[in-house]
Amino acid sequence: MENNKNNVGVLLANLGTPEAPTAKAVSTFLSEFLHDQRVVDMTRWLWCPLLHGIILPVRSPKVAKLYQSVWMDEGSPLMVHSKRQQVALEKVLGIPVEIGMTYGAPSLASAVSQLQERGCDKILVLPLYPQYSRTTTAAVFDKLAKSLKDQPVIPEFRFVNHYYSEASYIDALAQSIESHWELNGKPDMLVCSYHGIPKRYADNGDPYREHCHETTERLIARLDADVKIKTTFQSRFGREEWLQPYTDKTLEKLPSEGVKRLDVISPAFSADCLETLEEIAEQCHESFIEAGGEEFRFIPCLNDSPAHIDMMRQLVERHTQAW
C-alpha cells in the first residue's frame, strides 16, 4: 500500500461525542443521536415531544456533569482516543485515514470529503463496533448513504460489517487482560460488560446478543485461565426491557455470592468514553464496593494499543485486497 497507488482511503467510524461538556452541547448531540430511528424506533409524533419536552431538558445538564468528570485536556475521551487511532493506523498502513462520527463532528460526510481531497476514490468504511447492531453499525451505513445522496459522483465503497470473531481482535483483548493480571493479580471474576440494546431488537433479528456472547466464549477459550468470566449488558435507557443480565444489578449481587475481587472490561467499546470511564470505572466501582466488594478494577478499552492498531491493519489489508 506504499504511496497509495490505488487511491484507497480508510474511514474510521464511531458514534460521536458532544463538542464540550456543557448542557447545550450535550443537548445538541443527544438530539441528533436520539432522533435516529435505528436507535429509537418509537412513532415520531409520540417520541419527538417526549424527547424535546422532557428528556433533553432533564438529561442534558446531568449528562454534562458526567462528561465534566472524565473530560481530558485535549477534549472528549472518545475523540482523543479516536484521533490517536487515526494517526497510528495511518502510520502503519501508509494510506490516508480519517475519522467520522455518526452524530456530531467530524461527520461521516466530512471524513469522506477529506479522503477525496487526499486523492482517494476507493474508501473502506470501518465502523469501530466489533459486534454488529442495527443501533450502531447499520446507523453508520444509513447516515453515510444519506450524506451522499445529492452527490453526482460517489467514491467506491467497501464496508466492514463486524469483527467480533476475528482472532486478532480476541487476541488484542486477551493481551490487555493478561497484561493487567500480570500487574495486579487475577480477580475472583472477570465481567465482560457490553453496551445493551432493547431486548425487542434482538428478538426481532438483531444479532448483537449472539455476537457478544460469542466474543466472550472466544475470549474464555483464548485466555484459558482459572477465572470465572461473565457476560453482562450496561447503559440501558428507558423503561422497556433491555438485554440481560444488567451490569449494575449483577455487580450489586456479586459480593454476596463470594466475589470480592472483580475486574471489568467492556469489549464492545473500541475506545474509552463516558460509558466506560464514568459508568463502569466510577458508578459501578462505587456500587460494587458499597455492596461488600473489596477490589474493583476496570480494564481500559483497546484504544490505540499496538495490538488494536495491528488488528485494524489486518482488517483493512484484507478488505482492500484487489483494489
Task: Kindly give, in sequence order, each residue whose CB lies less than 8 Å from that of residue 306, ignoring residues fewer than 6 positions away.
Answer: none
Residues 100 and 235 in one domain: no
173 and 267 belong to one structural domain: yes
Position 75 pLDDT exceeds 50: yes
Q: What is the pLDDT of residues 196-211, one digit of tens each?
A: 999 999 999 999 999 9
State the pairing for strand pair 295-299/97-101: unpaired
- pLDDT > 60? residue 1: no
Do residues 144 and 184 share a domain?
Answer: no
* pLDDT category of residue 239 using cuts at 50, 70 and 90: confident
Q: Report long-range pairs for 276-280 (Cβ below 8 Å, ≥24 apart).
A: 276/300, 276/301, 277/70, 277/77, 278/66, 278/67, 278/69, 278/70, 279/234, 279/235, 280/193, 280/234, 280/247
Mean pLDDT of 226-250: 95
Identify the residue with better confidence: 1 or 76. 76
Q: Is the dihedral of CA 76, 19, 101, 193 positive or negative?
A: positive
Rounded distance, CA 93 to CA 257, Å?
A: 48
Q: Is 288 exposed, middle or buried (0-12, 13-18, 19+ CB in 10 A)?
A: buried
Q: Average pLDDT, stretch 102-113?
A: 96
* 272 belongs to a structural domain: yes
Q: What tens digit of pLDDT does each residue of 14-31 get?
A: 999 999 999 999 999 999
Rounded distance between C-alpha atoms, residue 21 and residue 10, angstroms: 29
- Same domain, yes or no: 151 and 177: no
Task: Name the DSSP letter for residue 42.
Answer: S
Same domain flag for 140 and 283? no
Count how many domains the chain has. Answer: 2
> Is there a contact between 135 and 41 (Cβ–Cβ < 8 Å)?
no
**Residue 115 sits in the same domain as residue 172:** no
Cell 467480533 identifies what position? 164
What CATH number is given to the structural domain containing 291?
3.40.50.1400
304 lies in a domain? Answer: no
Rounded (5°) CA angle 239-143-194 = 45
Check residue 17 and give its pLDDT. 97
Say if CB 61 and CB 252 are below 8 A apart: no
Q: What is the percentage of the chain residues whose pLDDT exceeds 90?
A: 92
Peptide bond before residue 49 is cis, with ω within 30 degrees of 0: no
Cβ burial of 304 (10 Å; 0-12, 13-18, 19+) is: buried
DSSP conformation letters of 205-266: T-THHHHHHHHHHHHHHHH--SSEEEEEEE---SSS-BSSSBHHHHHHHGGGGT--EEEEE-
| Domain assignment present for 26 | yes
73 and 217 co-located in one domain: no
Examine the domain organization and report whether 130 and 104 are in the same domain: yes
Q: How many residues does the structure list for the chain?
A: 323
Q: Could you report the per-residue pLDDT of 80-104, keeping only the tens digit for each?
A: 999 999 999 999 999 999 999 999 9
275 labelled ligand-binding: yes
CA distance 127 to 173: 18
- Tell me: do 132 and 185 sit in the same domain: no
Question: What is d(CA 126, CA 311) in angstroms, rounded to the nearest whole number?
Answer: 12
pLDDT at 237 over 80: yes
Structural domain range at position 68:
2-162+309-319
